[in-house]
């Protein structure tokens, strides 16, 4: 299967859990050739189910119903609920089903232990921009997951954004950098806008321009293929406004703070895995 090949439109996809990650992935997949009729979502309460129904996706309160009727199942519940959920659905898991966990910190070894022997397990870490098809998703295959299984997942997720496969050791780093990093970018965007408000710009306009600035900078960084330092130097003219601003950021230790933030978030993800 080629990396850019469309997903099999007949593939039946299930979600256990109806939170933001499940919604983001489902919405991303629907922008490809996956049909709402082939997706089913389960959650214990009806709180988050309405937005799935608006997309034409059927919902249920039964996890076993989802597993029994799916070829590929996303386990998208809070990490501490994974053992409970998998022990419930384990008797219904079939040999050829692909089980994809998006629970932070839950290792492949733990997942494989909780599921029937020889189960096909993949660990995936997406991030919130999947909702607008601009996510960054990293996955690692378990012992019984073949390259074709990874290709099936990649074909399903390719409309969600950048999809990369790597060793499991990278998953927690990806969680710290990209999963949590989205919030770090929002914090920066907020501060950017507040700086403009301080200097006299109306708040609504400042936030609108700040969001466009972050979006534009991100797209240019991705599409140019240049190193961030190169693009940064291209914006700096000798004695100009940008170098003065960058100097102030360096005095505030922004670079070290961001690196430490990624480190802290990564360590927390690893800690979740040890529990």
Query: Which residues define the annotated binding site for NADPH?
Result: 63
Adjacent-strand bridge partners of 140 = 123
Percent helix / strand / coil, the chain, rounded to 5: 55, 15, 30
52-80 as b/e: b if 16+ CB within 10 A: beeeebbbeeebbbbbbbbbbbbbbbebe
**Residue ranges at the known binding site for NADP(+):** 16-21, 76-79
Q: Alpha-carbon distance 222 to 100, whole Å?
A: 27
Contact 37, 63 (CB under 8 A): no
Copy the structure tokens of residue 136.
Answer: 């960054």
Q: Alpha-carbon distance 273 to 238, whole Å?
A: 48
Q: Alpha-carbon distance 6 to 26, whole Å?
A: 15
**Residue ranges at the known binding site:** 16-21, 63, 76-79
Closest CA to 12 of 45, 32, 36, 28: 36
Q: Alpha-carbon distance 97 to 67, whole Å?
A: 9
Q: Alpha-carbon distance 73 to 88, whole Å?
A: 14
Contact 69, 11 (CB under 8 A): no
Q: Determine the distance from the C-alpha atom of residue 175 to the mean position of all C-alpha atoms in its chain, rounded to a whole number.
A: 8
Burial status of residue 270 (CB atoms within 10 A of its CB: 0-12, 13-18, 19 or more): middle
């Amino acid at each position: 299967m080629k990396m850019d090949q469309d997903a099999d439109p007949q593939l039946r996809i299930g979600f256990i859990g109806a939170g933001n990650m499940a919604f983001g992935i489902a919405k991303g997949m629907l922008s490809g050739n996956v049909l709402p009729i082939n997706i089913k979502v389960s959650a214990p309460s009806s709180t988050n189910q309405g937005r799935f129904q608006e997309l034409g996706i059927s919902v249920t309160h039964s996890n076993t119903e989802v597993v029994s009727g799916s070829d590929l199942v996303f386990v998208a519940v809070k990490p501490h609920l994974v053992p409970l959920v998998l022990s419930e659905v384990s008797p219904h898991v079939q040999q050829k089903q692909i089980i994809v966990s998006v629970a932070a910190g839950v290792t492949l070894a733990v997942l494989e232990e909780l599921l029937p022997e020889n189960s096909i397990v993949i660990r995936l870490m997406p991030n919130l921009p999947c909702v607008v098809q601009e996510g960054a998703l990293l996955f690692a295959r378990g012992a019984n997951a073949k390259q074709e299984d990874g290709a099936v997942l990649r074909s399903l997720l390719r409309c969600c954004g950048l999809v990369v496969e790597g060793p499991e050791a990278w998953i927690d780093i990806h969680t710290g950098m990209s999963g949590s990093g989205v919030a770090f970018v929002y914090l920066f965007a907020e501060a950017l806008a507040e700086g403009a408000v301080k200097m006299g710009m109306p708040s609504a306009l400042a936030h609108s321009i700040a969001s466009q600035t972050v979006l534009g900078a991100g797209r240019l960084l991705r599409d140019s293929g240049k190193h961030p330092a190169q693009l940064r130097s291209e914006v700096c003219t000798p004695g100009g406004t940008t170098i003065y601003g960058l100097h102030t950021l360096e005095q505030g230790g922004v670079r070290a703070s961001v690196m430490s933030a990624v480190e802290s978030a990564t360590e927390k993800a690893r800690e979740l895995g040890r529990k």
